């Protein structure tokens, strides 16, 4: 067990525990803050996997942006602590079927996919290759995503002006 294993389990624990609390806790501000730690844990796991750029973007966009926006939204609502979130069980049969199918697909993917096992390869910076790929290979998708975001932005602005 090396230091990286310890760090991995630490981040995995952060992610899982805080994700559990996001779902179960009744106070939505708490949920939002736990979501922050979930995203942070995921970013940590990205770093361990060698996806440094993705980890940073995860931090900037999710921790620095989305969670903050959610917190803003939550704090602007007047009911915070006593929101009736359904945590009881209803519709057990359809839910069980859905969860079962999803779990089945996940396990199937886990078992059948060829995981690349690299033990000693140094973690190379990914930013440059990622950038080149985005511009060349996935150029059109990248541009389309940009246009979608722009449309969303304009739509939001025009909605807000009404």
Q: Which residues bind other proteins (CB under 8 A)?
A: 1-3, 6, 29-30, 33, 36, 52-53, 56-57, 59-60, 63-65, 67-68, 71-72, 75, 125, 127
| Min CB(98)–other proteins separation in Å | 33
Q: Could you count the other beta carbons within 10 Å of the beta carbon of residue 25?
A: 17
What minimum distance in Å lies between the beta carbon of 134 and other proteins?
14
Output the smallest distance, CB 113 to other proteins, in A: 28
Nearer to other proteins, 108 or 152 (CB): 152
Using alpha carbons, select from 39, 25, 41, 24 the residue that is nearest to residue 69: 39
- Output the furthest CA–CA distance in the chain (Å, rounded): 59
Whichever of 68 and 106 has its CB closer to other proteins, that residue is 68
C-alpha to C-alpha distance for 88 and 98, rounded to whole angstroms: 17
Question: Per this entry, what is the length of the chain?
Answer: 162
Nearer to other proteins by C-beta: 12 or 66?
66
Residue with tokens 């939204």: 73
Pick 92 or 160: Cβ nearer other proteins: 160
Whose tokens are 């106070």? That residue is 27
Could you write out the DSSP letters of every residue in 54-109?
HHHHIIIIIIIIIHHHHHHHHHHSS--TT-----S--SHHHHHHHHHHHHHHHHHH
CB 117, min distance to other proteins, A: 21
Q: Report, in Å, the least distance between residue 143 CB and other proteins.
A: 17
Whose Cβ is closer to other proteins: residue 12's or residue 126's? 126
């Amino acid at each position: 067990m090396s230091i990286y294993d310890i760090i991995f389990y630490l981040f995995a624990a952060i992610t899982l525990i805080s994700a559990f609390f996001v779902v179960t806790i009744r106070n939505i501000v708490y949920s939002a803050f736990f979501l922050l730690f979930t995203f942070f844990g995921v970013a940590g796991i990205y770093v361990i996997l060698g996806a440094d750029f993705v980890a940073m973007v995860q931090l900037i966009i999710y921790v620095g942006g989305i969670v903050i926006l959610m917190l803003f939204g939550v704090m602007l609502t007047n009911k915070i602590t006593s929101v009736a979130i359904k945590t009881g069980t209803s519709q057990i049969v359809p839910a069980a079927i859905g969860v079962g199918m999803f779990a089945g697909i996940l396990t199937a993917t886990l078992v059948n996919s060829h995981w690349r096992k690299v033990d000693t390869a140094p973690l190379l910076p990914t930013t440059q290759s990622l950038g080149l790929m985005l511009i060349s290979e996935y150029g059109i998708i990248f541009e389309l995503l940009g246009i979608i975001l722009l449309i969303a932005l304009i739509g939001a602005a025009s909605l807000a002006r009404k």
